[in-house]
Amino acid sequence: EGVGPQEYTLIKIELAAPTATAAKALSAFDLPKGARVFLVAGTLRPETMYGQTNCWIHPDINYLVVPTASTGDAAAAVEYLVCTRRSARNMLYQGILADSETLESIESPARRRLRGADLIGCPARAPLTPYERVYVLPMMTIKETKGTGVVTSVPSDAPDDFVALQDLRQKAALRDKFGVTMDMLLDPLPIIDIPELGDLAAVTLAKEMKIQSQNDREKLDLVKERVYKLGFYDGVLKVGEFAGSRVQDVKKRVQQQLVDTRQAIVYME
Ligand code: A2H
């Protein structure tokens, strides 16, 4: 963090059928008919997208809904991205947004926003994961000052994701507060084998270290560092078209493929 520019892959997670609350909130935006709405999740690990189980948002962040740049393909409906204001400003400078957007339109205090809480429980479609539907769920440790404020969840390889999922699984009061039900909490998927840790590295280490909640920052940072390093240097993909390849050899290729198929966007900050 804070050492020069960081490249993120923004994964496009399409809202499938909005809940009644989400539909009502979205209707205020007057989007054109047939508009597709994507939560865009910033990740450093595109090669783990085979293991996505849900999409995290922060319930108290007010997100923007911004149109993307025309692709020149007339048949393609305009696509809208849900992200923080800060990341929308960066996207504007990186040519990711439609020409109709300006610094003024993004900064305007009058600009309508979408509360994260209103999206919780929506089913969505994420690329590469075998789950046909993943759900939008609350994560309290999302920072508004990093990435897009949307995080995709890969609990097999991201300790933060696994622990946040466990919080929801174990705490009925937390689920009830946000209208989350057990069927929205999908199981971690074994996607990368790490010789030292097995194929559910984050799960194994989070359990070994007895991490109790998503606010157990110190332990989480230790485990995160370890899984990240081992995954990158020793990890081998178990699934998908690059099964059998080392993570470090195919990370860029998975990213490129997602970008080429318009399922992801490269973003810097
Ligand atoms: B990573 P760095 Cl499998 N708030 O993606 C909190 N966390 C955020 C965030 C935000 N606003 N924006 C992105 N992130 C998460 C996958 C992943 C990630 C795996 C393993 C490790 C990992 C699936 N979640 O990150 O501070 C996103 O989670 C550990 C480094 O910029 C993103 O990549 O280094 C990562 O943190 C970016 O964190």
Predicted confidence at residue 78, as pLDDT, reads 79
Specify the pLDDT at position 214. Answer: 85
Task: Please tell me the distance from the alpha carbon of residue 97 to that of residue 59, in angstroms, as a whole number.
Answer: 24
- Predicted local confidence at residue 175, as pLDDT: 98
Give the domain range for residue 83: 7-268
Residue whose Cα lies nearest atom 28 of ligand 1: it is 43
> What number of other Cβ atoms are within 10 A of residue 88's Cβ?
23
Residue 91 CA to residue 125 CA, distance in Å, equals: 22
Pick the atom of ligand 1 nearest to 153's CA. 24
The mean per-residue pLDDT over the stretch 129-155 comes to 98
161, 184, 182: which is closest to 48 by C-alpha? Answer: 161
For residue 114, give both structure tokens.
């979408």
Mean pLDDT of the chain: 94
ipTM score above 0.95: yes
- CA separation for the pair 133, 125 (Å, rounded): 5
Cα(200) to ligand 1 centroid in Å equals 17
Amino acid, single-letter form, for residue 106? I
CB within 8 A of 133, min separation 6: which ones? 16, 123, 124, 125
Q: Is the beta carbon of 44 within 6 A of some atom in ligand 1?
A: yes
Pick 182 or 78 by higher pLDDT.
Answer: 182
Distance 151 CA to ligand 1 centre (A): 7
143 lines ligand 1 (CB under 6 A): yes
145-195 pLDDT, tens digit per residue, is: 999 999 999 999 999 999 999 999 999 999 999 999 999 999 999 999 999
pTM (predicted TM-score): 0.96
pLDDT band for position 75 (50/70/90)?
A: low
pLDDT at residue number 69: 80
- pLDDT tens digits along 11-45: 999 999 999 999 999 999 999 988 999 999 999 99
> Does 231 sit in the ligand 1 pocket, CB within 6 Å?
no
In the reported structure, the alpha carbon of residue 95 is separated from the centroid of ligand 1 by a whole-number distance in angstroms of: 23
Q: How many domains in the chain?
A: 1
CATH number at residue 67: 3.90.740.10
Which pair of tokens denotes residue 43?
A: 């990740």
The pLDDT of residue 33 is 86
158 in contact with ligand 1, CB cutoff 6 A: yes
Does ligand 1 come within 6 angstroms of the Cβ of 30? no
* Structure tokens given for 217: 């920052």
